[in-house]
A and B are shown apart, each in its own frame.
Chain A
Amino acid sequence: MSELPAIHFNDVSKYYLLGSRRAHMRYLLPEFLQSKQAVPSDEKGRITNDHNILWALKNMSLEVKRGEVMGLIGSNGAGKTTALSLLAGIISPSYGEITVRGRIGALIKLGAGFHPDLTGRENVYLNGAILGLRKSEIANMYDDIVQFSELEDFMDTPVKRYSSGMYVRLGFAVAVHTNPEVLLVDEVLSVGDVSFQSRCLNKIGEIREAGTTVVFVSHNMHHVASFCDRVAYLNQGAIQLIGSPGEALAAYTADLMTKQENENMEDGSDMREVNGTGRMVITDISFLNSNGITVTQVQYNEPVTMRVSYKSNEPIENPLLDLVARDTTRGNMFQATNRDFGVEFGPIGKTGHIDITFEKIPVNNQVLNFFVTLWNSTHTERFDWKRFIKLRVVGNPASSGRFLFDCNWENVPESEVINV
């Protein structure tokens, strides 16, 4: 007998009526009194486009096997939290049907539904009651919960006085100790101190070993890659891809970089426009790989040459080239002139090019924006300035962080190997 999935989304859609008070009052009327237009439809998978309706989830179908750890990734507003809230039964689907087999423990965005005026202790009991546990069952696990959260001294303090870290600690402790069969985890690991984070990770590991089904939402790609058996990549409420963490993360980071490229398009450089005195002009900027082929994308660990072509009608002695590289958050990652590297160009030709070769650009899945300026030798006259020259650097989707240092990994046993 093949086992039934722990979680099954069957063509699920969810819409919200946006904003106005009139939209809210719409809920108060029975359907037959509303005009046909008022109720959005997705008959045969078609989603209506209406600016008063926000489709948080569109025709989502997904199966999660028992004991599987399913990751959900995507940008803000992609529908990750909506999917979790639907699973937790907080909101109901507009269309479609969700089947969940097993008791759910949920951590939706900072805290599993605590009442601010109640003390930590009262909230533990309240939460247990909400999860359908009897008072005696909660009493049995109370000590473990307190110990895990390390909040012994704060259990009689109202949770409104808790820091956000304390809040999450207690929420996580309750959720994992109530022995859920399906655990929903939303961005908890981004909060709390280091020691708590590592205990969370260990606890999640334990839970996985015990065969609990986990749905895991995080913006930390590293966590997603290391925890999840499979990952679903959501974009604007629709599933783009379900696959191995590697596949899903690669698709997501590729889309993110495309978005980053398009974001600054309006600032995009126009090669014909001269920003300076124009006595020497940059006519073209391109990137070449090690085979001399023009590229727009390189790997973080491969060499790349930036070719700045110029022309001039006057003799110019020893120009300076100032190069800036920024990431999309517009922070400078690199700024230098040829002189900083101890290089002088000397006299130039009527036309020619300057090659700047990078052994490698060790950044992780970033779209770099280059700014190139040509100055005279004394840095007093700007000839030309070209902006937002883009280069996409592909790193390792499974790692997080802005940089990706190229490194070798090796284990060196210094005594005989311990056999398992």
Chain B
Amino acid sequence: MTTEIKVLKPKRPFSASFGLLVQFRELLWVWTGREIKGRYRQSALGFGWALVQPVFQMVVISIIFGGFLKVSSGDVPYPVFAYAAILPWSFFSGSINSAVPSILQNMQLVTKIYFPREILPLSAIFSRLVDFTVASLVFIGLLWWYKIPLHSTIMYVPFLLLLQIVLAAGIGLLGAAVSVFLRDISFAIPLAMQLWMYASPVIYPIDQVPERWRWLYMLNPMASIIDSYRQVILNGQPPDFGYLSIAIVIAVILFVAAYWYFKRLEMAMSDII
């Protein structure tokens, strides 16, 4: 019989974190399933809500910015142009908005039993993939309606998706850990996400940003990610790798740093009740 030996010390080494997470992968899937089922439980529309929200946003934005304000959307019709950005943006902001409060919402579990706590924010993010998939169906319908051909560059989409998940995980882990000790974070995050949307090319194209400020603007990783989505899906162009590599570096560094900080705070979380 093999006996697992556990040594509990004041600090757990960060290097062991990933192995532990792999060991608990079953929990990651179970919890993700719970998040998915739990979100729309007891609502009549169910997963319809995953559709309603981005579609209404797209309609309203199209009327105001595409219709009244005549924001340029290049060669593609404005609704498709807008929806191509609303889709990944909703996924991104939804991920963060559910990841940040995930620890606080489950304190009764955190104070009762041990499991790697990052499972909570990570499952929150993974569960948003379902909403993303549902909302994507509308996008496919839109592409067909406006007769926009499918380009082979669509192959880049999984990579862009992964990149934005890494970015969301970094911010989600950081926010989830800090909000246990500083509740203000829970209030600040929705506001920050709103502002961040205006700082990203969701309702306007990137070439509306003045040329000399472009470099600063592109330090926002979501700016190059959203622009890349439009490039590969609507225009059939490969993404701008120069700007995208900045986003990759920022996302990866942020994720590793946030994960390290999260694990450092992890054991103190159950001390706070």
Contacts and interface: CB of A to CB of B under 8 A. Distances in A.
Decide whether A and B assemble into one complex. Answer: yes
Interface of A: 16-17, 21, 24-25, 27-28, 85-104, 106, 108-109, 111-118, 122, 125-127, 129-130, 132-135, 181
A85 B182 CA distance: 24
B108 interface: yes
A24, A90, A132 pick with most chain B CB within 10 angstroms: A90
B198 interface: no
A25 B4 CA distance: 35
A115 B106 contact: yes
B267 A102 contact: no
A106 B7 contact: no
Contact of B113 (A25, A99, A103, A130): A130
A94 B108 CA distance: 22
Contacts of B31: 126, 129
Contact of B114 (A89, A101, A122): A89
B69 interface: no
Contact of A28 (B4, B9, B182, B267): B182
Contacts of A103: 4
Contacts of A25: 181-182
Contacts of A91: 267, 270-271
Interface residues of B, number: 37
B109 interface: yes
Interface in B218-273: 265, 267-268, 270-272
B3 A95 contact: no
23 contacts: A24-B182, A25-B182, A28-B182, A88-B113, A90-B111, A90-B270, A92-B10, A92-B267, A97-B9, A101-B3, A101-B5, A101-B6, A106-B113, A115-B106, A116-B108, A117-B38, A118-B34, A122-B34, A129-B30, A132-B23, A132-B26, A133-B26, A135-B26
A113 B9 CA distance: 23
A118 B31 CA distance: 11
A94 B10 contact: yes
B104 to A, nearest CB: 13
A93 B3 contact: no
Contact of A16 (B24, B112, B178, B271): B271
